[in-house]
Amino acid sequence: MIDLAAALLAIAAGYLIGAIPFGVMIGRLAGVDPRAAGSGRTGATNLLRTVGPAGAITVFVLDVLKGVAAVLLAAWLYRGAGASWIVAGSGVAAIIGHIRSVFIGFRGGRGVATAVGGLLALAPLAVVVLAPVVIAVVWRWRYVSLGSITGALLAPVATGVLAATGAGTIAAVGYAAAAAILITLAHVDNIERLRSGTERRLGTKEAIRGDG
């Protein structure tokens, strides 16, 4: 039987972990509010354009760790029936928290790094398989958004193959499918710019409009 209170606690904790606005924190250290600069997002890509590589790498690592922490904490908090699904649900909640953070007026990033962290904790082999594909797409076309969307859409396939071969779980497939939907929806504006040929390429600098 599912322990509803423990399940809700695990999922709520996942959301709050995901909602930690590391992008805003690191940006402020550099005198920039990423919400008022570049794309207005708080993820590593916007930090790369508005703050620089060091800030972007720091934010990316911290955002990945949010996904890892949400999954591991849920696994520790909840050990009842359906534990794998509750743990996966906490990972999904972390992605939602990153995209719509309660701490910064329900704004945030696009959820990619946090989703990678959750997948790394749930199905590390899938990350090993997908990472070269994403890197190749970004390297070839210079669009981070295209690489992110490609990786997100392929994640359910990769986790599905792992589950079918006994090297993964169905819960991980569910996580990957939910993450793919959330990340794709968060990239709607990017998709439109990709279609119109106006999407920003990797390496493009942005004018700072914030308090920097």
Q: What is the pLDDT of residues 125-138, one digit of tens each?
A: 999 999 999 999 99
Contacts of 64 (CB under 8 A, 6+ apart): 113, 114, 116, 117, 120
By CB neighbour count within 10 A (0-12 exposed, 13-18 middle, 19+ buried), where does 74 fall?
Answer: buried
Structure tokens at 115: 């989703």
User: In the chain, what percentage of residues exceed pLDDT 70?
Assistant: 96
- pLDDT (0 to 100) of residue 2: 81
Q: What is the pLDDT of residues 77-86, one digit of tens each?
A: 998 889 999 9
- Predicted TM-score (pTM) of the model is 0.94
Q: What is the pLDDT of residues 8-18, one digit of tens each?
A: 999 999 999 99
Q: What is the pLDDT of residues 185-204, one digit of tens each?
A: 999 999 999 999 999 998 77
d(CA 19, CA 95): 8
Contact 117, 98 (CB under 8 A): no
What's 35-67 look like in SS3? HHCCCCCCCHHHHHHHCCHHHHHHHHHHHHHHH
Q: What is the pLDDT of residues 27-64, one digit of tens each?
A: 999 999 999 999 999 999 999 999 999 999 999 999 99
User: In the chain, what percentage of residues exceed pLDDT 90?
Assistant: 91
- pLDDT (0 to 100) of residue 210: 39
* pLDDT over 90 (residue 107): yes
Q: Quickly state the pLDDT bin for 171 (edges 50, 70, 90).
A: very high
Q: What is the mean pLDDT of the chain?
A: 95
* pLDDT over 50 (residue 212): no
d(CA 23, CA 33): 9
Structure tokens at 192: 């439109």
Contact 101, 161 (CB under 8 A): no
Q: Quickly state the pLDDT bin for 205 (edges 50, 70, 90).
A: low
Interval 155-169 mean pLDDT: 98
Cβ count near 58 (within 10 Å): 18
The helix, strand and coil proportions of the chain, stated in percent and rounded to the nearest 5, come to 75, 0, 25
- pLDDT (0 to 100) of residue 211: 37
d(CA 59, CA 113): 9
Helix or strand or coil: residue 101? strand
Place of tokens 């009842």: 80
Interval 166-189 mean pLDDT: 98
Q: Quickly state the pLDDT bin for 94 (edges 50, 70, 90).
A: very high
